[in-house]
Each structure stands twice: as C-alpha cells, then as structure tokens.
Structure 1
C-alpha cells in the first residue's frame, strides 16, 4: 500500500501531498503566505489582501523544491467580488537559469475571465491550464497578482508531476476499507441542457460536489461562472476549482496514483471529480462511446471494489449513477490524465 503522505516541506511548513507520480504543494497558512515577497499585499489572518494604498499588488514565493517534474498545474482559492481579479504565474529553474514567467491567465468571479493562451519557448509551454516542460525540473517559483479593492487569496496550490510515472502505482492493492461505501451525491446530467450542455462535464461535476455540501448551484450557473474566454469553454481545471473557492470551498487540483489512494477520500466522505478519456469499447457501460477528455464524480466503491461514479454524460438525471470495472477505469484515468482529480470540500474538512 502506498499511503497518502502529508509532509511538511521547506521552512514554511507547507502542506504537501506526495505520491509516486506527483507532488501537490499547498500554501494556505499565515506563515506560508507571509514568507512570500509582498509588494502592495499584506497578510490578514490566513489570506493575502491588498494594502489600503494599493490597487494592485504581488506575492512572490521563495523557490520551492520538489521531486523531479515535467508538468505543473496550479490552483488558487480567492474572493474577487464584482471587480477584482487574480493572476497566477510560475517559472522554473533550468540548467541555464530561471525560465520566463508563465501565466495561467486572469481569474475573476465576474465575466471576462480568461486563460493566457498558448505560451511556448525553449523551456516548455502552457496549454491553458498545464505547464509542460521539455526537460525535468526540481525547483519552481510562483507569483500571484491581486487587483481590485477587497480581493483576497487564501490558498495557492501546485501539482507537479512526472509524465513517465503516471502509471507507477497502477493496480495498487487496496485495504478494502472503502469498499461497499458510496456517498449520496446529487445526480445531475449535462445532457439535459440543449444550449451547450454536451461540453459541460466539468461544471456539472463541480455542481454535483457543491450540492453534496449544501451549496446548490445550477449547472448552467456553474458553467457561466467558470467559462474561460480564451479557451472558449468550461474545462479549465484551475478555473473549476477557483470557482468552488469563490463559493467558500477549499478546492485544488491534484493527481492521485491509484484508485486505492482515491478510496481514502471517498471513504472520508469526499467525492472527487476525476478526468479520463477512452476509445470505443474501453469503458463498458459508459453513456459515451468514446471521449478525448471527460470529467465525472467518483462517489465511492461497490462491495467488489469497482468505482461508482456520477457520470454527467448520462442522458438524464436518473441514469447518472454508474459502476465501471475497476481495472479498466483505473488504467484509463491514469494513462489519460495521470490520475487528475479536483478535491473540493469545506475548509473545516480534514484531508484523509
């Protein structure tokens, strides 16, 4: 069994989720936020906000060292209100020095939010929500820009992963404690919305998890709230978790190494939004014949250890609940997205 490791890394004592395929570093405590170089930004309790004299400001982290990685996906939880916005940038240390600052766009709860578009150079490239490097790195640095009165940032997270290790824990044995347990997550189909619903798997999945915690947001409202103008869609991973963050949730993107690791979350009452793709015939019982990228909600496991999902591609709400073969599902999840998952829960909930 390869357990979830919650480690304290670096002088700031950041919360780190360490797996064979990835590391997720989370800064959300006052000491971690205070350790950044602050310009026009102050730490109040456990969040960054602009100083009284500033309309914009930045928080630049100290260099962060992690296991070797060639992909990075950020997360952030903020309150931007009607006029504020947040930008998250990352640079990596290469043999020749620091790379450029790569931008993940401008997030705002208001309309007009947008990723930064494709950015490519000799070190790597950003495709909407993911920085992919041409060579592995072990050190990165982030810079967060806050704009607008009242804007706050209370969490930043960074999932770093090694593409060659995506399936390192495929078939990991389970302790079976979560088998036979499913969370009663409201079932919602994306397909009942004729004006764009066919591509709303991600906001539909987020809306189901929010509803599980008593935050009842309709699917179209969630889709509007995370729409990325540059991407022209609702599938931007950090925008999805940022949307949940604007509603008071603690939300971030991670990559899990196996279904055995996912069982720790569902067994603790935390459903996960997971991303996978498949070709025709590879996922028995799926409402879609194939998909090159689909989000659904992992709600638990049946008595034999097969994953139980709320699959928003079902034709109606009553047919959303699905059970898929464990081995097939795990392989498709890990090979497609490296085990990518949204962790969304109230701030008071403890990670398993």
Structure 2
C-alpha cells in the first residue's frame, strides 16, 4: 500500500513539473496582418448559430434563420511576438442590428491566454461605443489591444471572435470581412509589414486626383476633431462616392470615447459602404504600393509645422501643431534626389489649401503609430447599408416653416435635433448650400475630383416644436438679388440622410413713387363787386417846364424844316 502511494505521488509530482504546452497555432501569419474575407476563411473557424454565405461579396457570415444571436470564432493565428494589435471589420448592420468584435492573445512570458477583450458594440444604425476592458495580462485602450507589463511581455498567438445580433424582426447583420494587425516597438523586435495582395513595379511618380476637404469649414462644433471622419470621406469619394464628412462622423462617433478618432470604427464606417477595408500597421513601402495600385491611403500623424515645435517637424504642415491627426496620402515623387509624398491634409483652412507636399523622411517621423487606413474596391453582390439617402420634398407649413416629406409621410425633425447630435437616437446635423447665379463660393481645389462636399455649407437651419424645419428665405439669401436653389441635408445619427431642394426667391420691395412737389398757388383774381371801379388818376404835368407833347411837336417841326432845306439845295445845283 505504501509502495502504491509512493508511486502515485511520484506521478503527480511529475505531472506538475511538466510545463503546460501552449495551444498550437492553426495558421501562421507572415508579416503583421491577417484578413478573413472568403467563405472558406470563415468556414475554417467555429460557427455557433452562424452560417457562411458564398453569394454575398467575397463570402460572408450571417445568423442562422430564426436565431437572434450567434458567434464566429477564428482559428488560432500564429504571429511574430507583438505588443499591440488593432482589429477591423467590414459589416452591414440593418436598422436595429449590431456586432461585437473581440480577441484574446497568448502571452508567452506568462504562458497563458488573456481574457476576451471587446472593441465594443458597433452598428451604423444604433448607438455604438467602445469598451475599455482589461484583465491581468492585457487591456483595451479604445481601439488598441495592448499586452500589459513592463518586462518586455509579448504575445505570439491571436484568436478573433465576432458576435452577431439580430433586430426585433429577426433581421441579421452581415460580416463580410474581419482583420487584425499587430506590431512590436521593443528594440530589435520590429515586425516588417507585408503588402496584402500582388505587388507591382513602382512608377517614378504617382499623383492621384483624390478630393480635398477642409474639416475646419465643416460643422463648427466638431470641426476640430473630425479628421478621421474627413479622411474616410476623402477616401470613399476618391472611390466614387459623393458623401459628406458629417455623414461619416455621425456613423463613426464612439459614445464611450466621445469622439471620432476610433480607428476601428472609422474603417468600419467605410466598410458599411460595401468596400473591402482593413487597418494595417504599415510603412512607406506599403503606402507606395497602395498608391501604385490607384488607392489613396489614410495615416495617423502628429507634427509641428515649425522646426522648434514639441512634435516631429513637418515642413509646410497644414496644422500648426497636432498631437494626433489623420491625413490622406495621394501620391509620391522624387525631386532633386529628395523623396516626397503628396497629401490631402484636412487641417487646412480651405479645401484648396489641403493639397500639400511633404518630405518623406519628415512624414515618416510624424507617422507616430504607423496606422494605415486601407480601402480597396467595393465588393459585388452585396446590400450595403450606406449610402442611405432618402430624397424628400419640402412642403410649406406656414410662414418660414416647412415639413420634410419622404414618400408622402412627414419626417419629424424635433427642436433638439441639432443640439443633441450624438446624445439622442435619431438626432444629428442639418447642413445646406446654395446654388445660383449670385451665389459666391470658395475656390475649388484644382486637378482633383470635386463633389457636393466642396460647396460652401451653412448650418443655420433648425427643427422646431412642430417637428418641421425653420427656414427663413430672407435670412438665408442675405444680399442676393436673384433666385437661388437651397440644397439641404438632414443627417441623422442612425445612418439616414434626408435630402431636399427648395427654390428661394428674394423679396421684391417696390420703391414708392415720390409724391409730386406742390406748386405755389397762383394769385387769385380779385373778387367781383357791385361797386364801380375807381377812376384812374389823370396825368399831371411836371411843374415849371414844357409838357411832353410840346417837346415832341418842336422836334417834328425841326425835322420838316431840315428836309425842305435839303430839297431846295439840290434844285439849285
């Protein structure tokens, strides 16, 4: 018995001393990016109440018929040791549906997995927000999954999970793409990015006709903080859309972060338009490849435009100084042996001013986190949720009041629509521009695509207590003397934009004809009387001299005598 107990104890001790073997990776990743985008990619994982659908885009996952919630879990990915990772996704979320993307990582030094940490609730039609979760081995900082520790802790395996939530009618969201990128900033452990796709031979110069939009002239309550949304808008319109920066901001807003700078949410907003999208920790070689393929690229930067600023110096920077900013890269060129990149930098004060050329070495130093927004082509056979624009009519509801009518039904625009832009469901931003002969607009940027977003927008229209739009034509037209067309965009934070047009005509004020000046009254004739008119006084002769008649007689006599003398003289001759 004692011998049996000793053998049992020895076996237990042996088992305790054997190190726990880490779970083997199912798929080894080259570089620092993994993307799941085909039905085959998704089928390799674990599907609970979820099915793959090859007919949607490149392949997708949706909930099983009748299920209200389901989960997809990826295979285990083997990676180079990393400290940070960011997830991205392309999904369609019909009204009332949403998804939740999460991940876990295997931390080598701790020989264990982290807990599942979430990027939060995302949808373009419901209130979305990140989750600042944490566990013993890692934490989530808005959009960045970070391995905890101060002793060089890194992870070398990743597993992704996405949970799909149907709406009350049983409609499922669709996940078309899921991606993850990671990096290591420890000395000697840099992970070289690998281009996702076929590389091409780089031309000497690339300069795309990417649009240019200044964020600083947009809705002023968010103008200083919507660089990420403006960058996504710039890239989408470069691909053929015609959206407004505010429309992207409204579906990009993170209610937990209380802002528009969530990298994952920004790229998800682009994905909701049906595009192949992902985030990659990249380098300038990746950017050049994207440009050579015809795709502009969004990158994060922090810089000072003066050489003695607190951030990396970027000559000709559109922002004076910025601790965090997103810009669009539109081309590259080498001039006199110096490499440059062209940019649409939304921090400029005008659309035309956004077009900049930056030195490559300075730009690389300013590219702080090495995050790149990648947007390729729109997938086929999809039902993208965006753009979700509804054409409407404006029907007069009284003086300076109009009802927004969509398909014969009134759209209620409450009094707090613009004041509760993000805080209440269905609120948002109202913007308009004028089109007409007398309308003056800022100069458009040259040699680039232009569209609705390049017009001069104003934001003075509000909703009223009747649920209508308060539109004052006289105030809107200002000093215009000729009619103009008002194009209005009512952008809601649930992903819907209502558009309408209204002809505005200046009030014609008739100039009154001046009253004729009253002429002075003519002298009236004396009134007739029955009394005889008084006799005129008789002429009187001057005292002490000849009368006038006598003088005239003398002169006449002298003339006659002179005439007789002349005649007699002629006869004597």
Report the TM-score, using the length of structure 2 for normalisation: 0.54
In structure 1, the residue matched to 2:239 is 213
Q: CA distance change for structure 1 residues 321 and 179 in 2, over 3 Å: closer, same or farther?
A: farther
Written as runs of structure 1 = structure 2, the 5 A alignment for 1:181-200 is 181-193=206-218, 194-200=220-226
Equivalent position SS for 1:324: strand
In structure 1, the residue matched to 2:141 is 127
Q: Deviations over 1:174-199 (max 9, x none)?
A: x9934421110011010002121111
Deviation at 1:150, TM superposition (A): 2.7
Q: Higher RCO, 1 or 2 (CA under 8 Å, sep at least 6)? A: 1
Q: 93, 97, 112: which one pairs with 1:84?
A: 97
In structure 1, the residue matched to 2:120 is 105
| Separation of aligned partners in 2, 1:214 and 1:297 | 16
Written as runs of structure 1 = structure 2, the 5 A alignment for 1:261-276 is 261-276=286-301
Deviation at 1:216, TM superposition (A): 1.1
Equivalent position SS for 1:229: coil
Q: 7, 20, 34: which one pairs with 2:43?
A: 34
Q: Deviations over 1:260-279 (max 9, x none)?
A: 33111111101000001124
In structure 1, the residue matched to 2:182 is 160
Deviation at 1:331, TM superposition (A): 1.6
> Does residue 60 in structure 1 map to residue 73 in structure 2?
yes
Structure 1 runs (4+) greater than 3 angstroms displaced = 165-170, 175-179
Q: 344, 362, 365: which one pairs with 1:328?
A: 362
Q: Deviations over 1:296-323 (max 9, x none)?
A: 0000113423010000001010111000
Preserved CA contact (<8 Å) 1:178 1:263:
no
Preserved CA contact (<8 Å) 1:178 1:266:
no
> Does residue 243 in structure 1 map to residue 243 in structure 2?
no
| Separation of aligned partners in 1, 2:325 and 2:190 | 19
Preserved CA contact (<8 Å) 1:179 1:300:
no
| Separation of aligned partners in 2, 1:91 and 1:315 | 43
In structure 1, the residue matched to 2:498 is none
Deviation at 1:91, TM superposition (A): 0.7
Deviation at 1:340, TM superposition (A): 1.0
Q: 145, 153, 161: which one pairs with 1:143?
A: 161
Q: CA distance change for structure 1 residues 167 and 67 in 2, over 3 Å: closer, same or farther?
A: closer
Number of matched residues?
325
Q: Greater shift after overlay, 81-90 or 156-165?
A: 156-165
Alignment RMSD: 2.2
Q: Greater shift after overlay, 301-310 or 67-76?
A: 301-310
Q: Which runs of 5+ in 1 are unaligned?
A: 1-9
Equivalent position SS for 2:65: coil
Q: Greater shift after overlay, 299-308 or 313-322?
A: 299-308
In structure 2, the residue matched to 1:3 is none
Q: 211, 228, 235: which one pairs with 1:202?
A: 228
Deviation at 1:11, TM superposition (A): 6.1
In structure 1, the residue matched to 2:318 is 287
Q: CA distance change for structure 1 residues 154 and 348 in 2, over 3 Å: closer, same or farther?
A: closer
In structure 1, the residue matched to 2:34 is 25
Q: CA distance change for structure 1 residues 136 and 303 in 2, over 3 Å: closer, same or farther?
A: same
Deviation at 1:287, TM superposition (A): 2.0
Deviation at 1:167, TM superposition (A): 7.3
Q: 222, 227, 231: which one pairs with 2:257?
A: 231
Report the TM-score, using the length of structure 1 for normalisation: 0.87
| Separation of aligned partners in 2, 1:83 and 1:242 | 17
Preserved CA contact (<8 Å) 1:75 1:157:
yes
Preserved CA contact (<8 Å) 1:252 1:344:
yes
Q: CA distance change for structure 1 residues 43 and 190 in 2, over 3 Å: closer, same or farther?
A: same
> Does residue 311 in structure 1 map to residue 324 in structure 2?
no
Q: CA distance change for structure 1 residues 64 and 169 in 2, over 3 Å: closer, same or farther?
A: closer
| Separation of aligned partners in 2, 1:97 and 1:260 | 35
Q: Which runs of 5+ in 2 are unaligned?
A: 1-24, 194-199, 308-312, 381-573
